[in-house]
Amino acid sequence: MAPLLEARGIRAVRLGRPVLSVEEFSLGEREFLSLVGPNGSGKTTLILSLLRLIALREGTILFRGADVRTVRPVHRYRQNFAAVFQEPLLLNTTVYNNVAEGLRIRKRGGEETEASVHRSLERFGISGLRDRNARGLSAGESQRVSLARAFAVEPEVLFLDEPFSSLDAPSKELILRDVESALGESQTAVVMATHDMAEALRLSDRIAVMGSGRILQAGPPDELMRHPADEFVASFFGYETILRGAVEEVLEGSFLVSAEGRTVEIAGSAAPGSDVTFSLSPESILISREPLERVSARNRFAARIDRIIPAGFYFKVHLNCGFPLVSYITGHSMGLLDLREGEEVHCAFKSTAVRVLQMRGLQGGGGRQ
């Protein structure tokens, strides 16, 4: 099937400096694609280019297989999309008018507009703010209005540019849940820019890692994790160990996942056969020179030390126990254990220390493929 949105060899220049150079970009129907990269890596520029908000030096963008330059006037093209930016860029009028604006621009009828706005306000839990001026809202409320406005027009592609970055952790979690449920009900494809890999892993079907205006690597999260194209891409995953596997057996209160030829026990519940992407935080991994038999941790493996990297108050220890694993240990422990690269050690972590990032059931469960 032809991709929904495609770009080939697009380049953009700002103040004489190349800021974007993407050979290949594609987005499928209903796909959730994250653009991950540090500030200045070209994520926003790519989104603005796809929206035709900035001029391209060269290259082609195709929407449903047709060159978008043939779509005139340009605002007709943009009406296929909706965008939410980091700061909630709301108009100085009521919440209702903000959410209704996109529908009015698309000349939807009064009743349809009213119904869509109502639905969208409900979905983001802001019906009570309907008649308030949008400029007097909290950061979380404002971003909800911005999201409601984007969802109200039922776009073919939704662009999210760091939509959660300026929110505190609790509001972010609540909004993320609402976005997940809204996406579950809609048909829209999504392009989200973020510098937070956890966010990307939680939501994405595919991730494109960007740096210096280029897409360095794109693919499903686990593929990127396991085969990072270069160190830059790897660095985005380096701070956490991320693994993928299939559920083998369901126990009481936990389940066993086979990953990279090893079995990992994870606390929680899952359907047998589900695909699970999970991470291990480096703080929760114990290292010992002796086999760890008398600890309560359910997951115990023999491992080899690949690298030891000093990082201030602690050391990053890269282990290989059939799959790559990173552990943080303090300088004090380091002194006691006297670890060296290449040595064989034992490691362990509790089943509750495993964080499930994504789970796809065989029948329906996760749904968004």
Partner 1 sequence: MDLVVQGIVRAAGLLASGDREILEITLLSLRVSGGATLISTVIGVTLGAAVALNRFPGRNIAVSLINTGMGLPPVVVGLWVTLFIWRSGPLGDLGLLYTPTAIVVAQVVIAAPIVTGISLAAMQNIPEKLRFQILSLGAGRARYLALLVREARLPLLAGVMAGFGGALSEVGASIMVGGNIRGYTRVLTTATVMETGMGNFEVAIALGFVLLVVAFIINYVLTSIQQRIRS
Residue 139 binding partner 1, by CB under 8 A: no
Chain centroid offset of residue 179 CA = 12
Residue 101 binding partner 1, by CB under 8 A: yes
Give the tokens for residue 126.
């802001």
In angstroms, rounded to a whole number, what is the distance separating the alpha carbons of residues 93 and 258? 54
Q: Which one of 81, 255, 301, 323 is in contact with partner 1 (CB under 8 A)?
A: 81
Least gap, CB of 92 to partner 1 (angstroms):
6
Which residue, 160 or 303, has its beta carbon nearer to partner 1? 160
Tell me which residue of 54, 166, 38, 152 sits closest to 95, measured CA to CA. Answer: 152
Q: Which one of 38, 64, 69, 89 is in contact with partner 1 (CB under 8 A)?
A: 89
Which residue, 182 or 218, has its beta carbon nearer to partner 1? 182
Instruction: Count CB atoms within 10 A of the CB of residue 363.
Output: 8
The interface region with partner 1, picked from 72-80, 118-126, 217-225, 337-345 by CB under 8 A, is 72-80
The interface region with partner 1, picked from 71-79, 228-236, 276-284, 290-298 by CB under 8 A, is 71-79
The interface region with partner 1, picked from 12-20, 75-83, 124-132, 236-244 by CB under 8 A, is 75-83
In angstroms, rounded to a whole number, what is the distance separating the alpha carbons of residues 61 and 7? 4
Which residue, 102 or 228, has its beta carbon nearer to partner 1? 102
Residue 92 binding partner 1, by CB under 8 A: yes
Instruction: Count CB atoms within 10 A of the CB of residue 52.
Output: 18
Which residue, 104 or 307, has its beta carbon nearer to partner 1? 104
The interface region with partner 1, picked from 16-24, 58-66, 97-105, 113-121 by CB under 8 A, is 97-105
The amino acid occupying position 351 is S
Give the tokens for residue 80.
């296929």
Q: What is the CA radius of gyration of the chain?
A: 23
The interface region with partner 1, picked from 89-97, 199-207, 250-258, 266-274 by CB under 8 A, is 89-97
Query: Order of strands, edge to edge, in the sheet holding 17-27?
Result: 17-27, 5-14, 58-63, 66-67
Chain centroid offset of residue 1 CA = 24
Least gap, CB of 81 to partner 1 (angstroms):
7
Give the tokens for residue 27.
């987005």
In angstroms, rounded to a whole number, what is the distance separating the alpha carbons of residues 307 and 317? 6
Least gap, CB of 78 to partner 1 (angstroms):
5
Q: For residue 47, what is the enclosing H or E element?
A: helix 43-50
Q: Which one of 8, 78, 132, 202 is in contact with partner 1 (CB under 8 A)?
A: 78
The interface region with partner 1, picked from 25-33, 82-90, 197-205, 338-346 by CB under 8 A, is 82-90
Going 251 to 253 to 259 to 261, the CA torsion angle's sign is negative
Residue 85 binding partner 1, by CB under 8 A: yes
User: Contacts with partner 1 in 210-269 (CB under 8 A)?
Assistant: none
Which residue, 148 or 218, has its beta carbon nearer to partner 1? 148
Residue 75 binding partner 1, by CB under 8 A: yes
User: Contacts with partner 1 in 336-355 (CB under 8 A)?
Assistant: none
Q: How many residues sit close enough to partner 1 to count as binding (CB under 8 A)?
A: 24
Q: Is 208 exposed, middle or buried (0-12, 13-18, 19+ CB in 10 A)?
A: buried
In angstroms, rounded to a whole number, what is the distance separating the alpha carbons of residues 66 and 5? 9
Cis, bond preceding 324 (omega within 30 deg of 0): no
Q: Is 169 exposed, middle or buried (0-12, 13-18, 19+ CB in 10 A)?
A: exposed
Site string for partner 1, 21-60 (x = CB under 8 A): ---------------------------x--x-x-------
Q: Is 46 left (phi over 0), alpha (psi -120 to 50) or beta?
A: alpha
By CB under 8 A, name the binding residues for partner 1: 48, 51, 53, 73, 75-76, 78-79, 81-83, 85, 87, 89, 91-93, 101-102, 105-106, 149, 153, 159
